[in-house]
């Protein structure tokens, strides 16, 4: 099975930034329908691909698509801004984005001392 390309992952991040109006202050309701349409197209391209352990949407924008999908699904005001097809599409991609989010969390590098930082002087 083919893997998601970094270009495709960056497109997901761009659509996520569009939902948040390129900030973390909340969902931009005026841009939401267009951004969800982008999500629908990206999901169609992505749903049969494997996740990429070398790239994540948070490499390009602070929020993961799963957080955006969840925020929209949990906001009555955001859901009202969407037609029923867009609402159904978001609901359908929720499991996919959650699995992707969990995959990315599991593949985050451990923070700590790397071998490059370890000079062997443990008596200090």
In tens, the pLDDT along 48-103 reads: 999 999 999 999 998 999 999 999 999 999 999 999 999 999 999 999 999 999 99
Q: Residue 3 pairs with which residues in a beta bridge? A: 50
User: Residue 121: its pLDDT value, please?
Assistant: 56
Q: Determine the pLDDT at residue 1.
A: 80
Tokens linked to 121: 């002087």
- Phi-psi category of residue 85: left, alpha or beta, with phi > 0 → left and psi -120 to 50 → alpha: alpha
Tokens 């062997």 correspond to: 120
Q: Which residue has the higher pLDDT, 1 or 57?
A: 57
**Dihedral angle at the C-alpha atoms of 39, 42, 47, 50, nearest 10 degrees?**
-120
Which residues have C-beta within 8 Å of that of residue 107, sequence separation ≥ 6?
Answer: 53, 56
């Amino acid at each position: 099975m083919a893997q998601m390309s970094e270009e495709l992952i960056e497109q997901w991040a761009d659509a996520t930034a569009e939902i948040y109006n390129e900030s973390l202050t909340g969902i931009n309701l005026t841009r939401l329908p267009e951004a969800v349409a982008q999500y629908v197209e990206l999901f169609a391209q992505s749903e049969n691909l494997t996740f990429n352990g070398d790239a994540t949407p948070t490499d390009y924008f602070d929020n993961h698509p799963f957080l955006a999908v969840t925020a929209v699904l949990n906001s009555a005001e955001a859901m009202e801004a969407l037609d029923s097809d867009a609402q159904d599409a978001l609901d359908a991609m929720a499991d996919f984005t959650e699995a992707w989010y969990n995959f990315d969390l599991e593949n985050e590098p451990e923070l700590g001392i790397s071998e490059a930082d370890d000079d062997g002087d443990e008596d200090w």
